[in-house]
Chains A and B, each alone.
Chain A
Amino acid sequence: MTVRVAVVTFPGSNDDRDAVRALALLGAEPVAVWHEAERLPEVGAVVLPGGFSYGDYLRCGAIARFSPAMRAVREFAEAGGTVLGICNGFQVLCEAGLLPGVLRRNASLEFVCADVDVRVEQIDTPFTSACSQGDVLTIPIKHGEGAWFADRDLLDDVEAGGQVVLRYASGNPNGSVNDVAGVVSERRNVMGLMPHPEHAVDALLGAAGGRPILESLIAAAAARTPVLA
C-alpha cells in the first residue's frame, strides 16, 4: 500500500515540485492539490511547500490562509491530521493560527541562502520520530522573512510545552527568538520549519539532512492512511 501525501500549491508556491519529488523518492505517493480545492483527497498527511504564496502581499502567508484549500487543511489538522509547513508553508500555518508565533523579517534584513545545522530537540512528534534526541541535521535555508517570533508569555508556553522541535545549532541565521528553527502545535500534529527538508534528501546533491523529517512524516501518514482497496 502506498502512502499518499498531499502537497498544496498556492499561486506563488515554488518548492511544490521539489516536495513532490522528495516524497516520491522516499516511497510515498505525492498528490498535488491546487489552492482552489475545497476538499483534500484521501491522504495521510499534508505538506504546505515553500515559495511566495500570493506574492507575499501584506505579510507572508497572510493571504494564503483564506484559500479554500486552507479551510480543508484546517479541518484535516483539527481532526488530528499530520501537517508540515516548510518555509512559506510555516508562515501560512502561523498566520492561520495553526502554529504559535509569527515569522518576521530577518534581523539582517538580508535574504539568507545557506546550509544550516539544526538540532533535534523533540523526537515525540510525527516529524522527528526517525531522529534521535540531539541529532544535528544539515538542511538548507533560503528566506528573507524567517525570524520566528513570539512574545515572552507565548515563548514561555511554547518552551514549557516542548513545542520547539528544531533549533539552529551553529549560529542563528535570521534572528529568531531562542534560535527556533521549527515548532509544533500543542497537539504536536502540525509542524512548521524554515529549513527545507525537501531540498536535502540526496547526498549526491549536497545534503541529506532532510530525509529523517520526511521519513517520519511518511511513517505518520502510513499509520493514518485508511487502507484503500
Chain B
Amino acid sequence: MRATVLVRPKAGILDPQGEAVESSLRHLGFSVSGARVGRLVELDVDAPDAERARVELERMCEQLLTNPLIESYELRIEGGA
C-alpha cells in the first residue's frame, strides 16, 4: 500500500531553513511568508488495509522517521481515509 509521510518542523519551532528559503523567494520578487521546510518519505507498506497501514506508519514515525521533540507528521495513504 503506497503511503506518504510528511514530516514538518513543529509549529512554533524556529525553522532557519524555512526562513532562508522565504528570504530567497522574496529576493526573487515573490510575495511569500510563513515558509517552512520539512521532509517527505514515500514508501510501500505491506498491510492488508489502510487502517493497519496507518498503525504501522505511526509506529515508524515514532521510532525512526521523526524526532517528536522537534517534528510533527502527517500521513497520506493511497485509497485510505
Q: Which residues of A contact B (CB under 8 A)?
A: 58-59, 62, 95, 101-102, 104-109, 149-151, 154, 175
Number of A-B contacts (CB under 8 A): 28
Contacts of A154 in B (CB 8 A): 69
Q: Are B64 and A62 in contact (CB under 8 A)?
A: yes
Query: Which residue of chain B has the shortest Cβ distance to A154 in the bound complex?
Result: B69
Query: Which residue of chain A has the shortest Cβ distance to B9 in the bound complex?
Result: A104
Query: Which residue of chain B has the shortest Cβ distance to A62 in the bound complex?
Result: B64
Q: Which residues of B contact A (CB under 8 A)?
A: 13-14, 16-17, 20, 64-65, 67, 69-70
Q: Are A149 and B70 in contact (CB under 8 A)?
A: yes
Q: Are A105 and B67 in contact (CB under 8 A)?
A: no
* Known interface pairs A95-B67, A102-B67, A149-B70; 4 further A-B residue pairs with C-beta atoms within 8 A, sorted by A's residue number: A101-B69, A102-B70, A109-B20, A149-B69
Q: Are A151 and B69 in contact (CB under 8 A)?
A: yes
> Given A58-B64, A62-B64, are A107 and B69 neighbors across the interface (CB < 8 Å)?
no
Q: Can you list 8 A-B contacts with CB-CB less than 8 angstroms, sorted by A residue number?
A: A58-B65, A59-B67, A62-B64, A102-B67, A102-B69, A105-B16, A106-B16, A109-B20
Contacts of B64 in A (CB 8 A): 58, 62
Interface centre among B17, B20, B64, by most chain A C-beta atoms within 10 angstroms, is B64
Q: Are B16 and A107 in contact (CB under 8 A)?
A: yes
